[in-house]
Amino acid sequence: MKPIISAAQLRNALNSISRQTPLQKLNAAKPYNYFLTAIESSPQTHTEPLSITFQELLHPSLGDIEWSVQINFVVEMEFLLRQYTMAGCSGKPLFILHGDERIPNGTRSQVTTHFIKMNSAYATHHTKMMLFGYKDGSMRVIVSTANLFEEDWRNHVQGLWISDRLPPIKSENKASIGGESVTGFRNDLAKYLEAYKLAHLNPFIKRIRNADFSSVNVFLVTSIPGTSDQWTNDNAHGYSRVQWLLQRHCEPINDTTPLVVQCSTFGNLGAAGNGWLNEFKTNLCRDSQSNIGRKMSPIQIIYPTKNNVLRSYDGAHGGGSLLYDRRRHEAQQWLNEFLYQWRANERHRTRAMPHIKTYARFTDQKLHWFILTSANLSKSAWGWQKTKKKFEVSNYEAGVLFLPKFVTKTKYFAMDASDQTTPVFPKVYDIPLIRYQTDDRPFFREDVLDDVLPNGCPIA
C-alpha cells in the first residue's frame, strides 16, 4: 500500500493545480458547477480546469469561512482537521455529522461530532455533503461522492457539485418567499436536514432558510430512511423522487435510449433481471410522455473489471472502494450481460478507480439528464416498492439532478464541442462504452487485502 502523503506533499500537489483561483474555476465551470477531484498520480488532471482538490474548497477566494458542516459516512479525523489547519481555518466551528461508529459524539476545541445510528445493519448514513457559512452572511453547498479520508482524495475518481455563493436575503424580503431556486433546492435541503431531528442542525437550517438560492439550477435528490405511502409526490425520496421529477420536467426520450449507471458496488439485485433492477430502471426511464404502450429501455452498467483495477495506479489496492462481493455476483450472474468496463482516457482517469456514482440517459452525444450522487445501485440506497402503496428507503443519500430545462433552457445537454447548442457537459467516462470481454469479470472486494481498508472499515 502506498504511504499516506505528507502535508508538504499535499501543498506541492495543490501548487501544481491550475493557477486559477477556485473562484475563477467555479465561474468558468458555469452553468454546471461540476468537478472531478484531481488525481495525485495523473499530472494531466493537475491543470485540468474542471479538477479540484480539498484544499481548494477551503480557499479564501470562495469566502472567509465562519463555520462549516461536514455530512459524511467514513471520517478520518487526522486527515480532515489537517485540511482545515493547512487552509488556516482550524479555529472555525466545525460540525461533523457522520456514519463512522469509531468516532464518538462530543465536542473538542471547535469541532463537534455526531454519529447517526441506523435502524438496520444493512442501512448506511451514506450522504456526502458540505455546508460552508461565510463571515459576510453568505453560504455555499457542496454535494460530493468522497468520504473524508485521505485515500478517497488521492487516486480515486470523485465528483462534486459546488453551488454559487448564496447571499443572505435582504431583511426587507425575509417575510416573502423570495430567494428560492426554480428547482426548490433550498426547501428540499432544509427538509432533508430537518429529518435528522437534531438541535445541532437548527442554526444551519435557519441560515439556509434565510439564504438566496435563486442561482441554483439543479434538483436535490435525497434518500431518507423510512416508509411512505406518498411515494409519487414531490416530497418523495430515493428513485421515486427522480421518477416524479422526470415525469414532470423531462423532454420525451426515445425508448431505445439506455439508462447508463456507473457505481462502486451493487446491492442484492435478485436472481433475475426482472426483479428490483427492472423496477428501478422502469422508474428512472420516465419522461413527460405517457408511459402507456412504451417499450422497456435497455440498461448499461459501468463497473471496473479485475483487469481495470490491477492496471490502476495503485494496483489491487486501487480497488479498496469497490465493494462488490463474489458470492453476491455468483447469485446474479445475469448481471454480466449489462456490464461495461471503466474507461476515462479523455479525462486522464482510466487508471484511477471510480468511487463516483452517476446515472444518465444519453444518445448521439445528446445528454437528456444526469445525476451525481452518493447512492450506489441498491435497494437500500434508492428504495423499493414494498407494497402497491408503500415505498421504503434504508439509507441516507444525497445527489443532484441536472435537467436541461432548468440548467440551459434547452432540450438536451451537448456532449461534444461540435454541437454548440449548450456548453459541453463534462464527461466522466469515455463514450462509446466498452463491454466486458469474454474473459472479464467484475472486481470483487475479496481481491483486496483487508488491510487496504482503513481500520477495517468498509468504504462506500
Task: Give the other-Cβ count within 10 Å of 389's Cβ.
Answer: 11
Beta strands in 109-251 (DSSP E): 111-115, 129-134, 139-144, 156-157, 159-162, 219-223, 226-228
Residue 81 CA to residue 138 CA, distance in Å, equals: 23
Same domain, 205 and 229: no
CATH number at residue 76: 3.30.870.10
Domain total in the chain = 2
Residue 7, pLDDT > 60, answer: no
Cα–Cα nearest to 124, from 225, 213, 198, 39: 225
CA dihedral of 246, 249, 252, 258, whole degrees rounded to 10: -30
CA dihedral of 292, 284, 182, 357, whole degrees rounded to 10: -170
Same domain, 63 and 121: yes
Query: Angle CA(134)–CA(139)–CA(142) in degrees, nearest 5?
Result: 120
Residue 378, by phi and psi: left (phi above 0), alpha (psi -120 to 50) or beta? beta
Same domain, 366 and 285: yes
pLDDT band at residue 385 under the 50/70/90 scheme = confident
Which of 154, 182, 209 marks a domain boundary? 209
Annotation marks residue 355 as catalytic: yes
pLDDT band at residue 230 under the 50/70/90 scheme = low
Residue 219 CA to residue 136 CA, distance in Å, equals: 26
Task: Give the other-Cβ count within 10 Å of 296's Cβ.
Answer: 11
**pLDDT for residue 134:** 98
Residues with Cβ < 8 Å from 173, sequence gap 6 or more? 179
Same domain, 202 and 226: no
| DSSP secondary structure, 346-412, as one string | TTT-TTSEE--EEEEEEETTEEEEEEEES--BSHHHH-EESSSS-EEE-SBEEEEEE-HHHHTSSSS
Taken in order 193, 57, 180, 407, is the CA torsion positive or negative?
Answer: negative
Which of 160, 187, 209 marks a domain boundary? 209
Range picked from 115-129, 151-165, 173-187, 268-282 for highest mean pLDDT: 151-165
The half-sphere exposure of 280 on its side-chain side, counting CA atoms within 13 A, is: 27
Q: Which of 98, 126, 317, 368 is catalytic?
A: 126
Length of the chain counted residue by residue: 460
* pTM of the predicted model as reported, rounded to 2 decimal places: 0.93
The grid coordinates listed for 124 are: 448506511
Q: What is the mean pLDDT of residues 185-205?
A: 96
Task: Lay out the sheet containing 391-393: strands in order across.
Answer: 226-228, 391-393, 384-385
Residue 17 CA to residue 50 CA, distance in Å, equals: 11
Residue 40 CA to residue 36 CA, distance in Å, equals: 12
Q: Before 31, cis peptide (omega within 30)?
A: yes
Residue 237 CA to residue 61 CA, distance in Å, equals: 35
Q: Which of 119-128, 285-294, 432-441 has the lowest mean pLDDT?
A: 285-294
- Please give the helix or strand (H or E) that residue 94 lies within, else none: strand 94-98
Q: What is the mean pLDDT of residues 235-250?
A: 92
Q: In this predicted model, which residue has the larger pLDDT, 7 or 135?
A: 135
The CA-based diameter of the chain, rounded to the nearest angstrom, is 66
Q: Which domain holds residue 381?
A: 221-456
Percent of the chain at pLDDT exceeding 90: 80
Same domain, 187 and 275: no
Percent of the chain at pLDDT exceeding 70: 91
Residue 206 CA to residue 103 CA, distance in Å, equals: 27
What does pLDDT average to over the chain?
Answer: 90
**pLDDT for residue 231:** 53
Tens digit of pLDDT for each residue in 297-349?
999 999 999 999 999 999 999 999 999 999 999 999 999 999 999 999 999 99
Place of cell 493537475: 46
Q: In this structure, is residue 151 part of a structural domain?
A: yes
Residue 233, pLDDT > 80, answer: no
Same domain, 328 and 369: yes
Residue 88 CA to residue 90 CA, distance in Å, equals: 6
Same domain, 312 and 434: yes
Residue 324 CA to residue 326 CA, distance in Å, equals: 7
Which of 180, 209, 238 marks a domain boundary? 209
Residue 176, pLDDT > 70, answer: no
Q: Rounded to whole angstroms, what are the CA distances from 55 to 14, 149, 206, 372, 426?
A: 7, 13, 27, 21, 22
Residue 455, pLDDT > 70, answer: no
Q: In this structure, is residue 329 part of a structural domain?
A: yes
Cα–Cα nearest to 395, from 237, 261, 245, 201: 237
Same domain, 201 and 241: no
Same domain, 244 and 124: no
In degrees and rounded to multiples of 5, residue 301 shows phi and psi of -120, 120
Residue 290 CA to residue 163 CA, distance in Å, equals: 33
Q: What is the mean pLDDT of residues 418-445?
A: 96
Annotation marks residue 156 as catalytic: no
pLDDT band at residue 458 under the 50/70/90 scheme = very low
pLDDT band at residue 419 under the 50/70/90 scheme = very high
Q: Which of 69-78, 171-180, 259-268, 387-396 has the lowest mean pLDDT?
A: 171-180
Cα–Cα nearest to 161, from 147, 145, 149, 150: 145
Q: Which of 24-33, 167-176, 303-312 has the lowest mean pLDDT?
A: 167-176
Same domain, 293 and 421: yes
Same domain, 369 and 273: yes
Q: In this structure, is residue 74 part of a structural domain?
A: yes
**pLDDT for residue 235:** 67
Same domain, 73 and 196: yes
Residues with Cβ < 8 Å from 330, sequence gap 6 or more? none
